[in-house]
C-alpha cells in the first residue's frame, strides 16, 4: 500500500503546499496537506524489516494461553472434533500434547492443508505432526483452494508419504481414507480449476465506448497468436451507477472464441428488446464497457464433449448441474469448479490423474466415521 501511495503521490492535483517541490502548474497529490501525514502513518517500521527476515514456519512466537488450554480440554470433553490448521505452530504442538495426554489419544484434524515444504510457511503442517496426527486416530484433508487436478495429486502424494509413515509407526495396516479432500475454498480462495497451475489466460483487457455508445464506432476486442477472446463482463448504461454485468452474455455470444471482434453498442431500444435492463438517469449519456481476456477457446467443443462422455459413463450421473436460470454449468467451459456441485467433475479429473488418490479420497468418509467413533470413546477420559 505504501509503494502504491508513493506512485499516486506523483499524480496531478491542485496542491502546492511546498513552493520548492510543488510549484504550479499543475501540482501533485503528494503536495496535498494530508498526504504526508498518511504516508508517515503507513511508512514501514524497523520492526517490519526484521519480520521479513524470519524464516518460514517460525513467525508466531505465542502458543496457547492458559484459558486456551482450558478451552481445548473442555471441547474434548464435549466430543468436539478440532481442526488445528489455523493455529500457530507452537499452539498446534501444545494442542497435540494435550490430545496425546488423553488415554488412547484424542483425534485431531488438519482439514485443509499439506505437508510443509522448503518454501512453505507456518500455515503448512510439519511432517512430524502429520505422523502424530495419524497415531492419534485423526485425519487430514489435502487442500483444494486455487489448485488443479495435477497439482492436487502432487500435493496429495507428498502428504500421503507422511501419512503412511505415521501409520507404520502406529502399527496400522490400512491408512486409506486418512487423507481426504480439503474443502478450504471460501470467499477469499478460488475453487479448483482446470489445466496447469499457471493461469492460461492473460490479464484482463478493458474497452470503453463513451456516452451515447451506439453513436460511436464499435468496441474492438483483439487477441494475438492462437489466443481467443473470452469475455469476462460487459456493462451498458450510466456506468457510475450500473455497476454489474448486464451485457456480458450477449457480447460473449458474439465474440468468444474469436481472435478479433468488433462489437457495436446496441441502442436503448435494442438492448431492451434483448431483455437487458440498465441503470440510467436524467442527463446521463449511456456508455459501454467490455472486459475480456485472451487465452484458450472457452466455447463448448470436442474437449468438453469428450470429458463429459467419460464423466457420465463412469459416474452414473446423467445430467449436468444447472444454474437457477437453467443454463448448464460446464466444467470445461467454466474453467473448473464454479460451485461445489462441480466437485464430482474435479474428482473425475483427479481419477484420470491418479486412480489410487481418487480411491483414497472416496474412502475418507468411512475414515471420518471411525475417527468420530474414537472421539466418543475417549472423551470421557479427558482430564481437567
Phi and psi, residue 128, nearest 5°: -65, -30
**CA 334 remoteness from chain centre:** 15
The answer to whether the predicted template modeling score (pTM) of the entire model surpasses 0.85 is no
- Model pLDDT, residue 153: 92
Q: At residue 186, what are phi and psi to the nearest 5 degrees?
A: -150, -160
pLDDT reported for residue 3: 63
- The 8-class DSSP code of residue 233 comes to E
Measure the CA–CA gap between 301 and 287, rounded to whole angstroms.
Answer: 33
pLDDT value of residue 84: 94
61 touches 71 (CB < 8 A): no
Q: How far apart are CA 193 and CA 339, in angstroms?
A: 11
In tens, the pLDDT along 347-377 reads 998 998 899 999 999 999 999 999 999 999 9
Triad 77, 93, 164: Cα angle to 5°: 95
180 DSSP β-pair partners? 141
Q: What parts of the chain have a pLDDT lower than 70?
A: 1-4, 16-26, 43-59, 118-121, 184-189, 195-202, 298-303, 318-327
Residues 8, 22 contacting (CB under 8 angstroms): no
pLDDT in tens, 255-267: 988 999 999 999 9
User: What would the pLDDT profile of 271-299 be if each residue is shown by its tens digit?
Assistant: 999 989 999 988 889 999 999 988 877 66
CA atoms within 13 A on the CB side of 73: 15
Q: What span, in angstroms and rounded, lies between the C-alpha atoms of 371 and 362? A: 16
- Tell me what the pLDDT averaged over the chain comes to: 83
Q: What is the DSSP letter of 175?
A: -
Domains of the chain, earliest start first: 2-43 (no CATH), 66-191+362-379 (3.20.20.140), 205-295 (2.60.120.740)
In this predicted model, what pLDDT tens digit does every residue of 16-38 receive, in sequence order? Answer: 655 555 655 567 777 777 777 77
* Torsions phi, psi for 150 (to 5 deg): -65, -50
Beta carbons within 10 angstroms of residue 305's beta carbon: 12
Grid cell digits, residue 167:
501409520
| Grid cell for residue 130 | 502429520
Amino acid at each position: 500500500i505504501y509503494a502504491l501511495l508513493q506512485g499516486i503521490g506523483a499524480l496531478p492535483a491542485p496542491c502546492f503546499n511546498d513552493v520548492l517541490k510543488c510549484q504550479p502548474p499543475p501540482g501533485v497529490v503528494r503536495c496535498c496537506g494530508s498526504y504526508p501525514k498518511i504516508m508517515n502513518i503507513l511508512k514501514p517500521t524497523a520492526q517490519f524489516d526484521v519480520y521479513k527476515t524470519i524464516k518460514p514456519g517460525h513467525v508466531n512466537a505465542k502458543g496457547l494461553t492458559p484459558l486456551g488450554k482450558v478451552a481445548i480440554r473442555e471441547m474434548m470433553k464435549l466430543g468436539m472434533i478440532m481442526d488445528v490448521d489455523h493455529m500457530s505452530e507452537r499452539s498446534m504442538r501444545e494442542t497435540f500434547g494435550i490430545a496425546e495426554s488423553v488415554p488412547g489419544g484424542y483425534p485431531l484434524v488438519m482439514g485443509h492443508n499439506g505437508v510443509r515444504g522448503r518454501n512453505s510457511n507456518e500455515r503448512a503442517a510439519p511432517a512430524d505432526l502429520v505422523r502424530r496426527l495419524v497415531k492419534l486416530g485423526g485425519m487430514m484433508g489435502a487442500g483444494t483452494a486455487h489448485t488443479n487436478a495435477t497439482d492436487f495429486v502432487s500435493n496429495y502424494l507428498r502428504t500421503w508419504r507422511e501419512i503412511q509413515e505415521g501409520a507404520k509407526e502406529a502399527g496400522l495396516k490400512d491408512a486409506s481414507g486418512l487423507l481426504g479432500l480439503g474443502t478450504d475454498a471460501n470467499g477469499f480462495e478460488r475453487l479448483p480449476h482446470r489445466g496447469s497451475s499457471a493461469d492460461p489466460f492473460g490479464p484482463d483487457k478493458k474497452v470503453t465506448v463513451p456516452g451515447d455508445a451506439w453513436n460511436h464506432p464499435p468496441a474492438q476486442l483483439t487477441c494475438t497468436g492462437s489466443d481467443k477472446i473470452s469475455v469476462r463482463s460487459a456493462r451498458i448504461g450510466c456506468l457510475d451507477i450500473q455497476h454489474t454485468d448486464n451485457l456480458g452474455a450477449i457480447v460473449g455470444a458474439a465474440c468468444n472464441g474469436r481472435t478479433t471482434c468488433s462489437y457495436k453498442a446496441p441502442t436503448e431500444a435494442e438492448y431492451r428488446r434483448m431483455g437487458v435492463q440498465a441503470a440510467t438517469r436524467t442527463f446521463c449519456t449511456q456508455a459501454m464497457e467490455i472486459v475480456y481476456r485472451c487465452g484458450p477457446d472457452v466455447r463448448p467443443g470436442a474437449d468438453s464433449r469428450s470429458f463429459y462422455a467419460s464423466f457420465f459413463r463412469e459416474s452414473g450421473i446423467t445430467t449436468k448441474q444447472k444454474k437457477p436460470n437453467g443454463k448448464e454449468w460446464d466444467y470445461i467451459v467454466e474453467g473448473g469448479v464454479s460451485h461445489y456441485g462441480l466437485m464430482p467433475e474435479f474428482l473425475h479429473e483427479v481419477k484420470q490423474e491418479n486412480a489410487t488418490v481418487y480411491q483414497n479420497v472416496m474412502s475418507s468418509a468411512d475414515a471420518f466415521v471411525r475417527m468420530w467413533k474414537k472421539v466418543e470413546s475417549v472423551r470421557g477420559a479427558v482430564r481437567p
